[in-house]
Amino acid sequence: MTTPLSQDQIRTINSYDQEQRLRYCVKEIVAQRQVWILTDEHGCVMLNTEEEECVPVWPNREFAEEWATGDWQSAKRNRSR
């Protein structure tokens, strides 16, 4: 079980540049041996552009919850091990 992130930790991590966020994400996923995703009745939610599609993943529940808004508001937060 992981310790919940504080609001200060979330603010600090959200202020990281792209490379720092990637390093943090990989480090946390490996250390905690889990990844968070959002799912709905169709499966994993997807990010789409004209060129590509991807499944967003997060290293902590708190970040998945931050993204569960708008079209994804009713999505479930799921931990995968």
Instruction: Give the pLDDT of residue 39.
Output: 95
How would you write the pLDDT of the chain (81 residues) with one tens digit per residue? 678 999 999 999 999 999 999 999 999 999 999 999 999 999 999 999 999 999 999 999 999 999 999 989 999 999 987
- Gyration radius (Cα) of the chain, Å: 13
Q: Per the structure block, which two tokens stand in for 12?
A: 């600090």
Q: Per the structure block, which two tokens stand in for 76?
A: 């479930």
Task: Compute the distance between CA of residue 41 and CA of residue 34 in angstroms, rounded to an integer.
Answer: 22
Instruction: Give the pLDDT of residue 81.
Output: 78
**pLDDT tens-digit readout, 23-38:** 999 999 999 999 999 9
Q: Per the structure block, which two tokens stand in for 49?
A: 């552009």
Instruction: Give the pLDDT of residue 68.
Output: 94
Give yes or no for a contact between 41 and 76, defined as CB atoms under 8 angstroms apart.
Answer: no
